[in-house]
Amino acid sequence: MRGSPGLILMLSACGFSSPAAVSDPGGGGDDGGPGPAPDASVDAPEPEAEVNLPLYAASNQMIYKLDVDQQTSMLVGPVRRSGGTSVNVDGLALYGHTLIGLSDGGVELISIDKDDGSILTEKPLTPAGAWSGLTVIPAGELEPTPVVLSGLANDGKLYRIDATTGAVTAVGPFTNSYRFFSDLAWVKGEGLFATLTGGTCADVCFAKLDPTTGAATVFRSNLGTNLYGLSGYRGKLWAFNHAGPVLTVNLTTGLMAMAFDPQVPWTEAAQ
């Protein structure tokens, strides 16, 4: 999965090759300051060509903006509440123009300011669970409105999140004893993809999922356990290695090719 020896990582003057050290004074809890209205929900998506949007990814509490053409990563900042308390991100996706995520163990669906990482809205998820991984099927590609999908750690089903109410409902099982591993990604024109474990995966595998039933078709196994983030950016499947490399994935064979290595310990990625 390593790139060719001639691959050069070019960092812009404002880019970062590793996350800055940021303290978490509250361990992800609320500091008592004023927060968003309790009924705040994700804004409706605005029309913008996906190719014009940056690729966003996360390393625990830190949000990055990536330019895959220039092979750069720029630190946006920590995901934080209005009082400054940082929170971990357990899922990341784009809902139209809005960057959304799952906070601190998947207890809330949040919207995030793409310029500074501040949390704009918070919506508790019900029922409570260790929800993780997040992707959005844009309006018109499966249903008239966007479809928000998630997984549950070590669970065998695909789930759907109502972005307005926070209600989580099961779509259906992956089948064949497969369980959710780390992330989901919707690739325009190709479908829904996930990293799974269990069954015949032998550690971790790439699978294509039926977004209406959850049924999984595995197309590569034996991946190891360091692929934490997936993205469907620009009609391709991207995999984010916790060791730093950003890779593209062949949707037939599952073979990966190095795109570039920002040397960031990735945990999530948005399409």
pLDDT at 242: 95
Looking at 26-40, 80-94, 166-180, 254-268, which range is the least confident one? Answer: 26-40
In a domain, 76, yes or no: yes
In a domain, 153, yes or no: yes
| pLDDT mean across residues, the chain | 84
Report pLDDT digits (tens) over 86-109.
999 999 999 998 999 999 788 999
Nearest to 137, CA basis, from 164, 168, 155, 163: 163
Distance, CA of 248 to CA of 90 (rounded, Å): 22
Looking at 40-54, 126-140, 226-240, which range is the least confident one? Answer: 40-54
In a domain, 262, yes or no: yes
Confidence grade of residue 20 (pLDDT, cut at 50, 70, 90): very low
Confidence grade of residue 48 (pLDDT, cut at 50, 70, 90): very low
In a domain, 47, yes or no: no
pLDDT at 52: 66
Nearest to 269, CA basis, from 69, 96, 89, 45: 89
Average pLDDT over residues 150-162: 96
Report pLDDT digits (tens) over 211-222.
999 999 999 999
HEC string of 194-212 equals: EEEEECCCCCEEEEEECCC
**Phi then psi dihedrals of residue 46, to 5 deg:** -105, 150
DSSP3 helix / strand / coil % (the chain, rounded to 5) = 0, 45, 55
In a domain, 21, yes or no: no
pLDDT at 53: 81
In a domain, 84, yes or no: yes
SS3 54: coil
Burial code (b: 16+ CB inside 10 Å, e: under 16) for 21-52 equals: eeeeebebeeeeeeebeeeebbeebeeeeeee
pLDDT at 241 over 50: yes
What is the CATH classification number for the domain harbouring 236? 2.120.10.30
pLDDT at 17 over 90: no
Average pLDDT over residues 217-232: 94
- For the record, the structure tokens of 237 come out as 């499947």
In a domain, 220, yes or no: yes
pLDDT at 144: 96
User: What total number of domains does the chain contain?
Assistant: 1
Structural element, H or E, at residue 94: strand 89-95
- For the record, the structure tokens of 43 come out as 């804004």
pLDDT at 138 over 50: yes
pLDDT at 145 over 90: yes
pLDDT at 118 over 70: yes
In a domain, 10, yes or no: no
Domain that holds residue 70: 52-269
